[in-house]
Chain A
């Protein structure tokens, strides 16, 4: 007779939980995700038409780091990721605190803040393109009422990238907020009561209780929004297509543009640059952030 658990034989386990259960997932994932990833390492070193390739060594990468419009993409990606991630941490935490406090119509507020997360990114992007129209847009109309003149949000190179980043935050802050809500709710209320008895004011309670104990939420929000920010494509494509000039191009949009232009080798090199970038930032960062958490 077969038994499981600690005393169960290896064969018993294998019979009840067969390895072939991995198979359907492994085939789909292996063929359509892993294989192309490995293939990209090779094709990034070639000039490639999809039907034939010629090996050109590191030329694609050399081009990637020397052509100004490609370097722009790299720099913009970093700016975009850091700005959106930082803003989501700050705003998400503030909203999280507000929406766990005893505020009026709390459920409705939570729903309002979260709903944009579920809406089509393209729809949001196009809508905000209209709202940010320099002369007819609602945003500048409001600014005009206040007696000032709003900038050309999406066509002025100084503002374009930050304007898109703003919309990214608008759409994504709801997710950061619900993560913070989950984190803050799990902090035992006794801590706050004890602090209150000791005479700590609201700011001190935030600084000494909420901030350190909501740290797992902070780590999650940072990592998640950095990954999203570094890979971001659809919002930028819907709003500016990388323009004006190359001022809002990011690595993901460069990959698409090079693909459309038929530079498949260069596009694939962009892909390799992107996953090196993501891995080089996210992996060490999550390691450091998670380790400090254990020490503290």
Chain B
């Protein structure tokens, strides 16, 4: 074995061991403790459970507080699906006109897009406004909020992608008699599929994982989203660590599935959005 191949294996094994220790062990810690019974999990040890309680803990977490997790999952799924649909359609419409037709509005819109990326939202005035609109503590209100806060990211990605679609296509469609509506929804939008997938995947993970906005704009146990269910099992004196970790495990599964199927799009989208931002 040459020195070079030796170095290859040593670096590789070292890197893998370190990555395992730093990044994988915390997840294994969640898994093993989600399988324990309450007293054993309370020890917080990183050890295989003496008895596994997978099904028991799963049922306990799902049933807790009158099936709150189920309601929360339904809420989170509605929130994510509707908000992401809005982000794709509205973002693509803006990106399309912004890229195709520079006008005196373009400067202002570009500025707004940047502001939307950088600026933290003003919380209490938003609550005041939502109350006035009758949207405070409603899922519809939160959906609109998520759209408003993530539009910038969506517009940036769509605009960049639309720049790669030849204008001749638009011209051909218009010569065929297509109006702007047909042009966009029937001809351009279907071509945006790759970037739309990216926006959908990145934003669904972000919105599904969002904690702050539901905390402010959708408070109350009745219409909780999944991120707020974690706190069900954490109390000052009597935390059920096994159920807490089981809950964390359950709500990690949707992003994990996204990651397994769309790893490439997620990484591309996040880097592209970042670099162009």
Instruction: List the interface of chain A (C-beta within 8 A of B).
Output: 1-5, 13-19, 21-22, 24-25, 28-29, 31-37, 39-40, 43, 48, 50, 98, 102-105, 108-109, 111-124, 126-128, 130-131, 133, 136-138, 141, 170, 175, 178-179, 181-182, 216-217, 220, 223-224, 227, 230-231, 233-234, 237-238, 252, 255-256, 259, 264, 267-268, 271-272, 274-275, 278-279, 282-283
Q: Which residues of B contact A220 (CB under 8 A)?
A: 274-275, 277
Question: How long is the Cα–Cα vector from A192 to B158 in the complex, in angstroms?
Answer: 35
Check B100 against A128 for contact (C-beta < 8 Å): no
Query: Does B26 lie within 8 Å of A127, measured CB to CB?
Result: yes
* Inter-chain contact A17/B248, CB cutoff 8 Å: no
Residues of B within 8 A of A118 (CB): 205, 209, 255-256, 258-259, 266
List, in ascending order, chain A residues with CB within 8 A of B44's CB: 130, 133, 136-138
Residue from the list A48, A109, A121, A268 in contact with B19, Cβ < 8 A:
A109
Closest to B10 in A: A104
With A131-B26, A231-B120, A268-B124 as known contacts, state yes or no: A120 contacts B251, CB within 8 Å. Answer: yes
Bound form: Cα–Cα A28–B151 in Å: 9
Query: Is B183 located at the chain interface by the 8 A CB criterion?
Result: yes
- Quick one: given A21-B93, A21-B94, A178-B270, are A136 and B43 in contact (CB under 8 Å)? yes
CB contact under 8 A between A115 and B93, given known A36-B125, A127-B29: no
Where the two chains meet, the residues of B that have a C-beta atom closer than 8 Å to any C-beta of A are 8-9, 11-13, 15-16, 19-20, 22-26, 29-30, 33, 43-46, 86, 89-91, 93-94, 96-98, 100-101, 103, 105, 109, 112, 116-129, 131, 144-145, 147-149, 151, 155, 167, 170-171, 174-175, 180, 183-184, 205, 209, 211-212, 215-216, 227, 230, 234, 241, 244-245, 248, 251-252, 255-256, 258-259, 263, 266-267, 270-271, 274-275, 277
Contact A33 B124, beta carbon cutoff 8 Å: no
The distance in angstroms between the C-alpha atoms of A128 and B25, with both chains bound, is 11
Chain A residues whose CB sits within 8 angstroms of the CB of B46 once the complex forms: 138, 141
Q: Are A16 and B183 in contact (CB under 8 A)?
A: yes
Known interface pairs A4-B174, A105-B16. Does A28 touch B90 (Cβ–Cβ under 8 Å)?
yes
State the CA gap A29–B90 with chains docked (Å).
10
Closest CB of chain A to B66's CB: distance in Å? 21
In the bound complex, how far is the Cα of B209 from the Cα of A234, in angstroms? 11
Known contacts A17-B96, A32-B129, A37-B121; decide if A114 and B16 are in contact (CB<8 Å).
no
Name the prevailing secondary structure of the A interface residues. Answer: helix
Contact B122 A37 (CB under 8 A): yes
Of B19, B120, B271, which is within 8 A of A271 by CB? B120
Evaluate whether A32 and B12 lie within 8 angstroms (CB atoms) in the complex, with A122-B230, A137-B44 already known. Answer: no
20 A-B residue pairings within 8 Å (CB atoms): A1-B175, A2-B175, A17-B100, A17-B180, A21-B184, A24-B89, A29-B116, A33-B116, A33-B121, A40-B124, A103-B8, A103-B12, A111-B259, A115-B23, A123-B252, A138-B25, A138-B45, A230-B120, A268-B122, A283-B118
